[in-house]
Amino acid sequence: IPREKVADICRTSGTTGNPIYVFMSHADLRQAFEIVARQYISHGIEGWGNGMALFLPLDELINPSLVQEVCFRDIMKIPFYRIGAISRDKQLRYILDLKPGSVDATPSSFFTLGKYIQEQGIDPHTLNIKRAHLTGQPLYGPGWKPLVLKTKIEEMWGCEIISAYGTTELFSGNIECSAHAGHHVPHESVLMEIVDPDTGKPLPQEKQGEVVFTTLYREAMPINSYRTKDISWMEIETCPCGAATPRVMAVLERKDDYLKIKGNGMFHANLENAVMKV
């Protein structure tokens, strides 16, 4: 479509290089909002409590604030509080004043917020957060086993943790189901594949490899065979939740995150998980 018909522009964080700008038309946005809202609704609308508090960044063309606001406020009719990635004391004040039933954050920031709240003499359990929708970091490892960080967050807050996996380029994302058995792919709008990280050749979906996706109906910026550098695997059998959609499982590492320490190879996630144990 011509540039004057672009409705929204967001950008990636530039983790692996220069930021990429992602263009969306009105039709692209509507489809993305409906897909994400459907994934949230599959958990039951009542389980989100008295509103969703967003602790993710709100500035610099970052898209989660836009997607979440439309999904919760306009489609699901649940109050939505645009709090953002501000100081811990202000985040706590908003929680005490607004009493949201759920939050959206990165795992590490939600964990450090809980630590801050404990330091103020408050038990996070008493704040009645029912659900935490967490994105931006892995919560599971090989075999879909919870990482230490996820276990500690659950113990600290006493709420249901919902993992999300996606990229800014994908926009709509893949959200963990109510059975907590993988990130369901909205397969009517995106094709996901697993390929060999070195050769780019397709692998059987149960094999570990690089996640690649193709958007099927996007009109402003169609994306074809986009290599994410994320290493994971897919499950295609019917999920315990009853859905037959394919699932992207745990992101084990990023292809370019491999570290060499005194001759030993490891990924950042391995190091983080070891440190979190102590």
Which pLDDT score is estimated for 30? Answer: 93
Measured CA to CA, the distance from residue 168 to residue 205 in angstroms comes to: 23
- Cα distances from 122 to residues 94, 103, 115, 117, 210, in angstroms, run 14, 18, 10, 6, 42
pLDDT band at 182 (very low <50, low <70, confident <90, very high): very high
Give the chain's mean pLDDT. Answer: 90
Residue 16 has pLDDT above 70, yes or no: no
pLDDT band at 190 (very low <50, low <70, confident <90, very high): very high
Q: Across residues 246-259, what is the average pLDDT?
A: 81
Q: Across residues 241-256, what is the average pLDDT?
A: 87
Residue 139 has pLDDT above 80, yes or no: yes
77 or 272, which is more confident? 77
Which pLDDT score is estimated for 255? Answer: 67
Q: DSSP class of residue 147?
A: P
Q: Does the model's pTM come out above 0.85?
A: yes
Measured CA to CA, the distance from residue 107 to residue 136 in angstroms comes to: 7
Q: Across residues 187-212, what is the average pLDDT?
A: 92
Which pLDDT score is estimated for 132? Answer: 96
- Cα distances from 36 to residues 75, 102, 133, 146, in angstroms, run 10, 16, 12, 23
Which pLDDT score is estimated for 111? Answer: 96
Measured CA to CA, the distance from residue 14 to residue 149 in angstroms comes to: 24
Q: Across residues 202-225, what is the average pLDDT?
A: 92
Residue 259 has pLDDT above 90, yes or no: no
Task: Please answer whether residues 162 and 183 qualify as being in contact, where contact means their C-beta atoms are separated by less than 8 angstroms.
Answer: no
What are 28-52's pLDDT values in tens digits?
999 999 999 999 998 988 889 889 9
- Among residues of the chain, what percentage have pLDDT more than 70? 95
Residue 15 has pLDDT above 70, yes or no: no
Q: Across residues 184-207, what is the average pLDDT?
A: 91
Report strand pairing: 190-195 vs 209-215: antiparallel
Measured CA to CA, the distance from residue 244 to residue 237 in angstroms comes to: 7
Task: Please answer whether residues 196 and 208 qualify as being in contact, where contact means their C-beta atoms are separated by less than 8 angstroms.
Answer: no
Which pLDDT score is estimated for 266? Answer: 67
Measured CA to CA, the distance from residue 178 to residue 81 in angstroms comes to: 24
Residue 218 has pLDDT above 90, yes or no: yes
What are 105-130's pLDDT values in tens digits?
999 999 999 999 999 999 999 999 99
Q: Across residues 66-86, what is the average pLDDT?
A: 92
Q: Across residues 63-87, what is the average pLDDT?
A: 90
